[in-house]
Amino acid sequence: MSDVRVAGTGVTPFGSTPERTSRDLFARASQTAFEDSDVPRDDVEAVFYGNFMGELAEHQGHQGPLMAEAAGVQAPATRYESACASSGAAIREAVVRIRNGEADVVLVGGAERMTNLGTAGATEALAIAADDLWEVRAGMTFPGAYALMAQAYFEEYGGEHEDLAHIAVKNHENALTNDKAQYQSAIEVSDVLEAPQVSSPLGLYDSCPISDGAAALVLTSEDYAEDNDLEAPVAITGTGQGGDRMALHDREYLARSPAAREAGAEAYDDAGIDASAVDFAEVHDCFTIAEVLAIEALDIAGVGEGISAARDGRTTADGETPVNLSGGLKAKGHPVGATGASQIAEAATLLSGDHPNSEFVADATTALAHNAGGTVASATVHVLAEVEP
């Protein structure tokens, strides 16, 4: 079984660029990834691409070969769709293919064009990641769904909106130096608490923005990296995937994330570590409560203890386990098909010392990336590790 190296990364700035198509965005991210990797395009044996709403936002299906062409690659290409975990699922497939010896070089990533739909249109498009028959037709949107999860958490474990506000403040602070982030501006707890309410208890600053963007990775086998003298100091050492029932009313828990726990347990076992080995994490904080559920599911915080982690400084940049040093989805942005790949890119550059916030994890050797779909009916988790020269 071959080790999987991150040979190159490319991430576009996240934000509002409604005039840019997904193929334009992915071409740009791929170009950067190839330049970073020093891998010839002709060596790519497969393209795996994550995208969620291309049919709705751009009237475009069958995007795999389209994105391979945009990246300048002639290879079999497949699009992966798992809501907001689309490129996380694509990365998992790439890791498995390389480990199995079926490929030495894979281009993997994702993109999403969302702002051209407007707020109402993007909200409606995102809603189809929920159960259409029993949730969407009843008026459920994701702000409402995560608000229900937050209410359930407060009732079961305690906490208040101010605890969630500290998560938003932390992630905005982390994004200040990230030139890829949609929001490079500091906020205060009072800003979060006084912001317009979206769905109680969540307000505007508890929610990630609508974003356009793309991310791409060139992944190679260990043998390929060594044979070609590539500078690829980070490996993906663990991969896991979990699932849960689609509709909230069919679930055993509202205040826990079984899919993320399942994915995390598999990834930890695959990497041969436990949560105590994780030096920092990038987790799927589409809403502030989502970060709480994620770090508890991944054993970064105990059940019922994640709510106070940011407030107590345990997950801040200088805390014991920094979470979302990129700014997270909350401040970096969330072009849904690109998010999973961008998390891996952020974690890899943080480990290699090439990220603006690498100073906070200068001694780190192990990172984790958690990507979730819908209300975490789907989840992927990947463990990354620094490779000794």
Positions marked catalytic? 84, 334
* The two structure tokens encoding residue 263: 């994915």
Run of H or E including 125: helix 118-127
Q: Which of 305, 306, 275, 301 lies closest to 289, judged by CA?
A: 306
Do 341 and 50 contact (CB within 8 A), yes or no?
yes
DSSP tag of 90: H
Measured in degrees and rounded to the nearest 5, phi and psi for residue 314 equal -75, -25
Helix, strand, coil content of the chain in percent (nearest 5): 45, 20, 40
Whether residue 389 has a cis bond before it, omega within 30° of 0: no
* The two structure tokens encoding residue 235: 């490996």
Q: What is the DSSP string of 17-55?
A: -TTS-HHHHHHHHHHHHHHHHT--GGG--EEEEE-SSHH
Residue 305 CA to residue 233 CA, distance in Å, equals 34
Do 114 and 122 contact (CB within 8 A), yes or no?
yes
* CB count in 10 Å sphere of residue 250: 12
Residue 377 CA to residue 245 CA, distance in Å, equals 6
Residue 293 CA to residue 260 CA, distance in Å, equals 9
Residue 364 CA to residue 320 CA, distance in Å, equals 11
Angle, CA of 305, 309 and 314, to the nearest 5°: 125
